[in-house]
Amino acid sequence: MKYGIKTPGYQHRKHGSTWKYEFADVVYITDSTSTVEITSYALELPLYKVNITPLMEEKIMEAKRRISSNPSIVTSNTVIIVDMSASMGNADINGHRTRSAGVYYTIAENFIANRLYPPEVAKLGGDNLSFTDIVTLIEMRADAIVVFKYEPISWKIFNLLVDLRDLKDTRNHGNYFNSFQKAFGIIQDLKCSNKCAHCLFFFSDGRPSDTATTRTRK
């Protein structure tokens, strides 16, 4: 409030007129007296979908068909687990409204976009990436939710991650056991060659909810 830019805020149903203070990447909303905080949040780093042409969509579908019919061609298989329990909705990461948004931004930018050819090239893969490098995403909730499975790393996956970042659908518990059990099953079920590289990424902010869920059931 001391160093930020002060502008009129929105009309709040309970507090009436508000003030908005902006400093660095933080927005702070107060009542009309500037003495009561209503809310605060971080301004998000931009993340926008890319345009996928019909030609690129056709190439992605053909890659999926080839992988499905002959899994032995897969060169790398990555499974990503993202904790989507209620605590991942906390706003304490610079540049992101929630912890889960920060995770999805990082996966989209660093694991997907930075490795692919530019979308305008309309070519699958990247300098060190092929359509035979696949990825699976699991959201860790009270149960394990498979968002997508055995997908070639592509701009289509990037767009899906942008949607998930914007959805902000964190809630309830996050049970580790179910998610890891699902992940190991997905790795084992893939009939790729012994040269295929397997990788598991796990993004979480705290302790498992498994014990809490067990106590609730009792």
Give residue 57's pLDDT.
95
Task: Let me know if residue 47 belongs to a domain.
Answer: no
pTM exceeds 0.85, yes or no: no
8 Å CB contact between 29 and 39: yes
Task: Let me know if residue 167 belongs to a domain.
Answer: yes
Task: Let me know if residue 49 belongs to a domain.
Answer: no
Burial class (CB in 10 A: 0-12, 13-18, 19+), 79: buried
Say whether both 143 and 76 belong to one domain.
yes
Give residue 42's pLDDT.
74
- The residues, any chain, with a CB within 8 Å of residue 65's CB and separated by 6 or more, are none
Q: Which domain holds residue 69?
A: 54-217
Task: Let me know if residue 103 belongs to a domain.
Answer: yes
Say whether both 81 and 130 belong to one domain.
yes
Say whether both 116 and 211 belong to one domain.
yes
Q: Which residues of the chain have pLDDT under 50?
A: 215-218
Say whether both 163 and 71 belong to one domain.
yes
8 Å CB contact between 107 and 116: no
Handedness of CA 130, 134, 184, 163 (dihedral sign): positive
Q: How many domains would you assign to the chain?
A: 2
What's the longest Cα–Cα distance across the chain? 67
Give residue 212's pLDDT.
53
